[in-house]
Amino acid sequence: MRRVVAISVGIVLFLSGFLMTSCKSQFEALLESSLTEEKYKAAFELFEKKKYSKASQMFESVSLATNGTPQDDTVQFYIGYSNYCFGDYQTAESNLNNFIATFPLSPFTEKAKYLQLECLYKGTYRYELDQVPTRKAIVSMKGFMIDNPDSEYIPQINEMLDDLNGRLELKAYKSAYLYYHMEDYLASHYALKNVLKENADNRYREEILFYIAMSSYKYASLSVSDKQRERYLVFVDDYLNMVSEYPDSQYTKDLESYYEKTQKILKNQE
């Protein structure tokens, strides 16, 4: 009886082990194996088939065995590259940063630096949110361009830089405009002028000049009578600045009626 029980237990254990093995995919079985060459080859096959998550896992699995070998930099680069292609930019940025520090002279290094910049770019936020990642990405991109002035990636980096700088310029403009929206016209006049003081080439310069003029007009119109003249004169200066730079602007027409009103008020106060 004991012998029968022992045989039965053995069969159960054998079948359990067989079922567990058979349930594993070929990928899982190879991943857990020590077949370095097969894993190395499979990692590239997975990458070529765009199975980037699995490729990353396979490259990670083989990395210990290739450490210190001529394949080391290739494996480490493709770990980050696979995560980048998979869309895990935070992990990829960390992978690529480690790769660059470890293999500064690798033939993959320039591409790794560019991919890291793309990861930083994709990790930035829209203009309403925190722009610390944006500034970090801009500094890194400018550093790359200084170190690699002839790089094939310069055009792509310029496109990313233009987008990121535009985001900062829009945030600066909208932050200052908020005072105008809140009807704090003195604060909006100061804040909007400060935006142009810090960056005269802000791409929203036309709109900013318009709201500078509107701020000074509304501030003057709400002022006590003995302060109005000097404040309307500020509006006149702001209006003339606007029309001299943008004579055909859609905003200029809006300002003309306020300018005409101001001229009448100033004439009556003479």
pLDDT tens sequence across 144-202 = 999 999 999 999 999 999 999 999 999 999 999 999 999 999 999 999 999 999 999 99
Q: How confident is the model at residue 19 (pLDDT cuts 50, 70, 90)?
A: very low
* 183/264 Cα distance (integer angstroms): 24
Is residue 105's pLDDT more than 60? yes
Buried (b) or exposed (e) across 55-91, using 16+ Cβ within 10 A?
bbbbbbbbbebbeeeeebbbbbbbbbbbbbbbebbeb
pLDDT at 25: 87
Please give the average per-residue pLDDT across 73-87, as a whole number: 98
Is residue 3's pLDDT more than 50? no
pTM of the model: 0.82
Give alpha helix (H) positions in the chain.
Answer: 2-23, 26-31, 36-48, 52-66, 72-86, 89-102, 109-122, 132-147, 154-181, 185-198, 205-221, 225-245, 250-268
pLDDT tens sequence across 34-68 = 888 999 999 999 999 999 999 999 999 999 999 99
Is residue 11's pLDDT more than 50? no
